[in-house]
Structure 1
Amino acid sequence: MKASIPIALGYFAVSMAYGMAAIIQGLTVTESVIISLTNLTSAGQFAGTTLICAGASLIELIMTELIINARYFLMSISLAQKTGGKLPLWQRMLMAYGITDEIYAVAISSKGNLRFSWFMGLVIPPVVGWTMGTLGGALASSFLPADLVNALGLAMYGMFIAIFVPAARKEKSVAVCVLIAIALSCLFAFTPVLKNLSSGYVIVLVTIVAAAFCAWKFPREDEDDA
C-alpha cells in the first residue's frame, strides 16, 4: 500500500475531472462513482461516459472500450507470468480488476513472484483515490454554479493536453499520431456525409487508422538493434 500512495494521490486529482465531466454530461453522482469503482480506467471512462450520455449503441461502446483498453490484455498476460501459476482463478480475476498502467509498472518491476496479498495492497489505495476523486468532482459539479462547472470542465481537456504534448515533443511518432488523429477527427466532424457517423464508430476508426499508420511508419527497434 505504501508503494502505491503516490499513484493514489495522482488518481484523486485526475478523477475529479472525470467526476465533473460525468455530471456535466448527465450522469448522477451515484452513477459516476459506481463507474469509477468498477472500471478504474481514465481514458476508457471518459470515452465510455460520452458514448453512454450520447445514446450510443452497445456495440459501439464495446468496440470502443476494447480498443482503448486492449493494452490491459498484454499487461495481464505479463503479470500472470510472475504469479508462478499457483493462484486460483478468483484471485487472478481480482488482480486483473486492479491492473492499470501505473500499478502494472510497480508490479512488474518488483522482485520475485507476485503474491496476491501484496498486489491487492498495491491496488487498494489507487482504487480509493480514483473513486473518492470522482465523488469529489461529482459533488462539486452538483453544488457549484453552472457557469463555474462548465469552466472547470475544461480541466479534462487540460489533462489530456498535459499528457500528450510532452510526449509529442520528445518523439516524432507521437506527434504524428496526434496530428493524424486530429485531422481525421476534423474530417469526420465537418464532412457532410461522414459527420453523420456516430461518435463511437468515429473513435474506433480514428484510433485504428492513426495507431496502424504509426506502427507501420515508426516501428520500434529491438533493444539489440538499437
Structure 2
Amino acid sequence: MYEDYVKIRDKYTDCFNDSQTEILDKYVDYHTGPDTYNLPDNIKKMAAELNKAGLEFREMGEGFTEIHSLPGYYESVFKNKVTPDYSAYISQMAKDNKENYAINGGLMITWEELGDRLIVWENLMNKYPKSQLIKSITDNYYSYLSDYLLGMDSDLIYDSEEGKIFDDKMEEYNRIIKKYPNSRTAKKTKELIAAYDAHTPEDQIGEKLNLRR
C-alpha cells in the first residue's frame, strides 16, 4: 500500500509541477533573503492550499523551484500502520528530506552529517536484509557512500596541489573510522585513504574501491 501510494502521489505531483511551470519559473524572484520570501497574495494562497495537502514549494538551486511532498508527510500518513522495516525506512527518508541534500554539485549538509547518515542506512541494510525495501535501502546507502568517498563536482576529496585529502574530509574520515570501526563505511574509508597513500591516480580511485564489493 505504501509503495502504491507513493507511486500515485509522485505521478500526480509531477503532473502538477508540469501544469504550474509559469508560477514555478517565477518563484525564485520572490526570494528576498535566507528563508524569506515576498509572495504575492495568489501565491500565498496557493502555498496554503499546498500545505493542506502535505505539499510545499522547494527551491532546488540554479533558479529552479518544484512542488514536493513535505518531508514528514509519508511518516504522518503511515505511522503505526506498517511493519518495522517500512517504519524505519519512512522515518529516515523524512529526516533525509528535511533539507536539500545537494545543490549545484555541492553538499548542502555537513560531511559529518553525511557520515552519520551513511551509518544509519548501513544499519538498516544489515538489520533488514530480507525486507522488500532492501534494494531501495542499499541504493540509498551506496549513493551516499559514493559522494562521501569520491566527492561531488563542487565538493572534491583530494587536493591535487598539496597531494593529500582535504583536511576537513580527513578529519571526518578519522572520526567515522574511530566511532564505527567495524562498519562497512569505515572499511571503505580506510581503503580510500590507503589508495591515495599509494598514489593511485584519481581517475582510478573509483575502480580501485569498487564500492559495492
TM-score (normalised: structure 2):
0.28
Structure ranking higher in strand proportion: 2
Q: Give 1 or 2 for the bigger CA radius of gyration.
A: 2
TM-score (normalised: structure 1):
0.26
